[in-house]
Amino acid sequence: MRPLSCCRSYQLLPSGKREIWTLPERHYSSLSEETEIRQLTQKLADAKDVMDGIKSVAGTRLPVLTPNLKGFHAAIDAGAKEVAVFASASESFSKSNINCTIEESLCRYKEILNAAKRLSVPVRGYVSCVVGCPVEGPISPSSIAYVAKELYDMGCYEISLGDTIGVGTPGTVVPMLDAVMSVVPVEKLAVHFHDTYGQSLANIFVSLQMGISIIDSSISGLGGCPYAKGATGNVATEDVVYLLHGLGVKTNVDLGKLLSAADFICKHLGRQSGSKAGIALSRGIRDHSKM
């Protein structure tokens, strides 16, 4: 099993800047912010203020989600040094999420990639609904492979495969990864599992066995999707780190600092943590991952 280079936490944060600074310094290589989402999504009018407040976080990459060229330029103007584009393997979800077809979205992203290349700005690609869609149901592995390859071929340095509604199991994730890995190098792939049905850790485990070494996660399982009714947030970072430590994988993540950050943000938002490992460890239950 190949060690992970890092364990990444992607989350949408309020405009208050303390939330950024509370995250463990130097233990995460990447955070994610949003810009220029279409009218059906609440716009982050203070995105520039947020970017201004986190520019000086040493050793941290801050990719900004950009659905179109206008959003790309807004992100760059706000100080973004890296951006991300997000396509869907489902036509229905693409239309509800970014108001265009899959092919239209790919055309938009080619414009972004071309502009990014001119400015030497790295671009990360996301593919949503890689197992199932809230409207269309199961999505064929070949459809996911097609979108992933398109994003990779146009210049995305890495492709994150997202189970947006959290319906995946190892039985559906393995054939999906097989299809994508046949057209995109495994070292260029990441997995992004929402934990709606409690299957994320099992899916991460089989992904590791297949050679994936990059995992997207969200502190305390925060997040979700407004266009995927009932979908919960991304897999909790605390649970992923606990699993990886138990497997002997070096993450460079200080679990104690991670728990402190999780406690802060959950209190700030007035919600309970979505991490089972986090809840257990915060209650003083022994850390058995290193036994």
Catalytic site positions: 225
φ, ψ (nearest 5 deg) of residue 285: -70, 140
Q: How far is CA 192 from CA 21, 58, 145, 222, 272, in A?
A: 24, 25, 15, 13, 22
Alpha carbons 220 and 234: distance in angstroms, whole number:
9
| Cβ atoms of 166 and 195 closer than 8 Å | yes
Strands (E), 10-157: 33-34, 63-65, 82-88, 123-128, 132-133, 137-138
Alpha carbons 8 and 163: distance in angstroms, whole number:
16
φ, ψ (nearest 5 deg) of residue 133: -120, 140
Alpha carbons 2 and 206: distance in angstroms, whole number:
13
